[in-house]
Structure formats: C-alpha cells, structure tokens
Homo-oligomer: A and B are copies of this chain.
Amino acid sequence: MTTAKQRREAIHDSIRDAAISEFARNGLSGTSTQAIARTAGITKAQLHYYITSKEDLYQQVLGEIVTHWKEIFFLSASCPDDPKAVIADYVRRKIRHALEHPEVARFFAHEIARGGLEMAAHWPALRLSVDEATAVIQGWVDAGRIRPVDPLLFQMNLWAVTQHYAEYEAQVRRLMDAPAPTPLNEARIVEEATALFLGRCGLLD
C-alpha cells in the first residue's frame, strides 16, 4: 500500500534521476524541461508543479551530488597507515561508482566545463576535503612510505582517471568492444588504474 507521501517521493526521485540524466547529456541550457518531464514519465506542467524552476532543479541536483561525493569519494583517512590499501580501495570504489552512475559524473563534468558557475557555494567544502587528503599523502611521503609525489596533482590525476570511465563511457565502450547493454570489464579497468597509481608511489611489487 502506497501512501501519498511515498508517491510524492517517488515522483521527486524520478524527476531527480531524469534531471541528472538529461543535464548530463546536454547541460543546463541544452536541456528542456520537456525532455526532463518525458524522461521522468510526467507532463511538463506536472514537472513544474514539483519544481521551482529549471535552474533551481539544476542547483539542487548539483548540491546533492557534491554533498554525496564529499562523503564518499575523497581519500578516506580512516586507515591512513596503509597507503597501498587506501589507494587501491579508493580507485576501486571510485571506478565502481563511475561505471554504475556515469551520468552523475557526466553531470559534474558538464558543470565544470561551463566554468563551474553554479559551484560557487560548494568550492570551500571541496577545497577542505582536498586539503585533508593532501596532508595524508604528504604524511606518507614524509614518512618514506611512498615515493615523493606532488600530493595535489596526484589527487587530480586519480580523479581524472577514475572519472574518465564515466565521462568517456561512449568512447571506452567503442574501444573495448562493449556496446551499450554489455557491462564494461570493471576488474580489468580497476586493475590497470590501481597499478598506475601504485606504480607512481613505488608500491608495485
């Protein structure tokens, strides 16, 4: 038995999913509310009953994504004493997410490509996460646990590689001969990416 509240939340969820998907494909200005409504399976007028405006929906989705990422994606300092485990774990988690929710990553890429205009409110928090991770990595270097690296750029490259499999999914699928419904070979991707960053740290066997 579905309550009214559940129905409303279901609609809100499908709107959010549709918005991510459409914005990821065509950006803010390139996406019509018509398209979002169609993807969400509702009328355009109905969509506008649930949202304040297209811009607002975009902002809201962006906010949720950034919040979510701050929690999950920046180098968890939970067990910072084992660089190898931390890095391998991060790469695995990030790539899994990229393959499972590629639209989220693409949405974010779009926003940054536009200049990150709507990110204004979120930069400080992101910055904080990055600074924390930088400290952890620098600690590893200082302790001689990994080869000297540029901690900031090391993180960016981690980000670059893991995001890539979401953003360039279409190209990756072409080159890996895995057309759309076929799942991408996650293990293979994780393995090479992990080796890349461990190799940089001198932790590769």
Contacts and interface: CB of A to CB of B under 8 A. Distances in A.
Interface string A106-147: 100110111110010001001100100000000000000001
Nearest to A185: B153
A204 B147 contact: yes
A101 interface: no
A157 B164 contact: yes
Contacts of A18: none
A114 B26 contact: yes
Contacts of A45: none
Contacts of A116: 170-171, 174
Interface of A: 24-31, 106, 109-110, 112-116, 119, 123, 126-127, 130, 147, 149-150, 152-154, 156-157, 159-161, 163-165, 167-172, 174-176, 188-189, 191-193, 195-197, 199-202, 204
16 contacts: A25-B114, A26-B114, A27-B30, A29-B31, A109-B109, A112-B167, A112-B171, A116-B170, A119-B170, A126-B174, A152-B176, A156-B175, A157-B196, A167-B167, A196-B200, A199-B200
